[in-house]
Structure 1
Amino acid sequence: MGVFDEGLALPEQRLGESDEAYWGRVERLTDQVQARDEGADAPAPPDPPVCRDCGLEADRFPTRSSAWVLLEPLEPVVEVPSHLVPPFFRWLIAEDGVAWCPPGTEPAPGESCRVPHRLVCPGIDPPDPWSWLVAQRLENARRAQRLYNPPRLPEGPGDDAVTA
């Protein structure tokens, strides 16, 4: 097993595997690690864009690493000023509809971004919450509660009558 870049391990090249096939496999494995680190672990189509941890639906986008990411819907949330979102959680949508998470650089003044659902998911512990993320997580918990426990319909006047 080879090693590069501060201990990242390369898989062994399989017997009879061409160099092209080997490096293609390395690229796919690297993409999978990048996707996992960025939180791009959404179910791919045709599965519905639903969070496996809380059951809420979110906006699903393909990523540059050939994975899928769930981003908070634009209703009721809108794009958020990037400086309010922790680095490595600032998702942008390219003109071709592909989502990407820029490296941990400072956003330009006035720049906005999309928020990954996992950052405000009520079904998981937050990585390092900021105050507005806590509020959004609580709102999502309330929405998820309504999803699974809809309000009871009022009973009719004869439904609770006691017979003698």
Structure 2
Amino acid sequence: MRSTPPPPARRWDGSPLAHRVRRSLRVSPDGVSRLLRCGQGDRCRECGNRIEWYHRGAQRPVRLHPHELPAARVPSVCRWHVSSGVAYPGGDGSSWCRLPHAVVCPARDVPPPTPELTGLRRSLAVNTRRLIDAGAFTPCPASPGSPAPQRGNPAACRPARPVVQLLYVRYLAAHPVDEIQCIAQTRRRHRCTSTLLSPGTPAGTWKLVPATATSGQLALPAAVMAIYDLSAIPYAEQLRWRAQRCLRHSAIPTAADLAVADWEPFDPLAHHAHIHNRLPARTRRPGPTGRAHEAVDP
């Protein structure tokens, strides 16, 4: 993604110089996989605009704006560059750079630092409104700036982005537990519509635990949170949840991934808006004998 000038046509002595044509990274139409390691296209679940996922070393992927911007119009603290498919903070010495999507996301309350980026954020906000009016996008209910759920509302006790504990690590899910979708590709080259939580599979339990991460971080003062604990289910089932695959595709290792797994390492300070201090609401469900019994919604 680095902008470079065209190579010279001749050497210093005037002899012609042959250049090998560089081919861009693309997916073969006859290939099985639709998932690239870098530049994985997606849409922001908060504003609906296009983004690109890039790996940044051993850390979790970062969301970047899909187009390059002049480096002179972007503050130095907001500049990123991509080298060999890996994103790095800072410029690479060229006149172009990449920009994190969070800086110009119209769903966030923090304004961009420069007028040029404010104009870009305004255009993205217009595109978000067009997507909402056309019915092609529904804003995430847990996005920053959305109204807080009221007490007494049953939907208020169902976290839109729950905290899930598996393999002794806590993750922030992108969807409710019963809506986490498989990321495998079907034979028709579409994303599998099955969910991870299905009948006949061991399920986790909701617990109230101190609001802290599993990496030894100190808990928030006098704060508890509800987590969906999968530590009691078999190890193979936890691996299936971590890979975000349904039962059918977990038995097919050759099935390609069509999307990036939605798990985000949980940070109690950065994700404090998603901490819920109440367990999900209890509903009436028919029992095995036909009688209704109380169960906790996943």
TM-score normalised over the length of structure 2: 0.30
**2:89 aligned residue (101, 122, 138):** 101
C-alpha distance in structure 1 between counterparts of 2:107 and 2:119, whole Å: 14
2:74 equivalent to 1:85: yes
Match of 1:72 in 2: 65
Q: Is the 8 A contact 1:49 1:70 kept in 2?
A: no
C-alpha distance in structure 2 between counterparts of 1:69 and 1:53, whole Å: 15
Say which one has the larger Rg: 2
**2:130 aligned residue (142, 146, 163):** 146
Evaluate the alpha carbon distance shift between residue 128 and residue 144 of structure 1 in structure 2; reply closer, same or farther with a 3 A threshold.
Answer: closer
Structure with greater proportional helix content: 1
**1:119 aligned residue (99, 103, 119):** 103
Alignment of 1:13-52 (within 5 A): 49-52=42-45
Evaluate the alpha carbon distance shift between residue 83 and residue 65 of structure 1 in structure 2; reply closer, same or farther with a 3 A threshold.
Answer: farther
C-alpha distance in structure 2 between counterparts of 1:66 and 1:137, whole Å: 27
CA deviation after TM superposition for structure 1 residue 117, in Å: 0.8
Evaluate the alpha carbon distance shift between residue 120 and residue 128 of structure 1 in structure 2; reply closer, same or farther with a 3 A threshold.
Answer: closer
**2:49 aligned residue (28, 45, 56):** 56
Match of 1:7 in 2: none
Could you list the runs of 5+ residues in structure 2 that have no partner in the other structure?
Answer: 1-37, 136-298
Count matched residues.
98
TM-score normalised over the length of structure 1: 0.51
Match of 2:117 in 1: 133
C-alpha distance in structure 2 between counterparts of 1:88 and 1:60, whole Å: 19
- RMSD over aligned Cα, in angstroms? 2.8
C-alpha distance in structure 1 between counterparts of 2:70 and 2:49, whole Å: 23
CA deviation after TM superposition for structure 1 residue 56, in Å: 1.9
CA deviation after TM superposition for structure 1 residue 73, in Å: 1.5
* Percent identity of paired positions between Structure 1 and Structure 2: 32
Evaluate the alpha carbon distance shift between residue 135 and residue 93 of structure 1 in structure 2; reply closer, same or farther with a 3 A threshold.
Answer: same
Evaluate the alpha carbon distance shift between residue 89 and residue 147 of structure 1 in structure 2; reply closer, same or farther with a 3 A threshold.
Answer: same
Match of 1:40 in 2: none
Match of 2:199 in 1: none
Structure 1: 4+ residue segments shifted above 4 A: none
CA deviation after TM superposition for structure 1 residue 112, in Å: 1.1
C-alpha distance in structure 1 between counterparts of 2:61 and 2:70, whole Å: 23
Q: Is the 8 A contact 1:120 1:133 kept in 2?
A: yes
| Secondary structure, counterpart of 1:58 in structure 2 | strand
Structure with greater proportional strand content: 2
| Secondary structure, counterpart of 2:50 in structure 1 | coil
